[in-house]
Amino acid sequence: MAVSISENDGDDDFEESHEINVTPFIDVMLVLLIIFMVAAPLSTVDLPIDLPTSSATPQKKPDKPTYVSIKPDLTLAIGENAVKRTDLVNSLDAVPDMSRDKYVFLRADRMVPYGELMGVMELLRTGGYTHVKLVTLEGVPGTPAALQAEPAKP
């Protein structure tokens, strides 16, 4: 005994469906979401700077920090964009969501002389940016930073 599902027993054609299949779209969006979730933490500042270490307890980083970097060749950069020393304050003023009340994170290579670091800090201070934090690598707690900076010589 057979059962008929539709009223038209002799018609084997299906009706056209005018709906969009969103399943592939959702699959692509989920893959893109995963890619961006993995890539977002890696997209911080990519300038090759050899930072010194510190045994201080790390502090919470803000959502969108503004990094000023001093490279080993003593050139300056805001984020990844190179700037001239004379244009540092004007370039910081042009950064979106940047105000003089927010912290500026200063990164300097280990080989940068202390006088150059202080010169950049003086430029920031005279420009009105008095909230400056120095960026270092995390060291081993309880070990002096001077011992961590230099590897043991045989």
The domain ranges of the chain are 67-136
Tell me the C-alpha distance between 15 and 2, whole Å. Answer: 23
Is there a contact between 129 and 100 (Cβ–Cβ < 8 Å)? yes
Tell me the C-alpha distance between 81 and 43, whole Å. Answer: 14
Neighbours of 123 (CB within 10 A): 17
Query: Which pLDDT does position 3 carry in this prediction?
Result: 55
pTM of the predicted structure, to 2 decimals: 0.56
Query: Which pLDDT does position 145 carry in this prediction?
Result: 47
**Angle at the Cα of 47 (from 45 to 53), degrees rounded to 5?**
85
Query: Which pLDDT does position 154 carry in this prediction?
Result: 40
**Tens digit of each residue's pLDDT, the chain (154 residues):** 555 555 555 556 677 777 888 888 899 999 999 988 887 766 665 667 777 777 777 777 777 888 899 998 989 999 888 999 889 999 988 888 888 888 899 999 888 898 999 999 999 999 899 889 888 877 655 455 444 445 444 4
Q: In 3D, which of 121, 11, 24 has the Cα closest to residue 68?
A: 121
The residue whose two tokens read 């805001």 is 78
Fold of domain 67-136? Nucleotidyltransferase; domain 5 (3.30.420)
Query: Which pLDDT does position 147 carry in this prediction?
Result: 47
Query: Which pLDDT does position 1 carry in this prediction?
Result: 53
Q: In 3D, which of 84, 89, 96, 99 has the Cα closest to residue 125?
A: 89
Query: Which pLDDT does position 77 carry in this prediction?
Result: 92
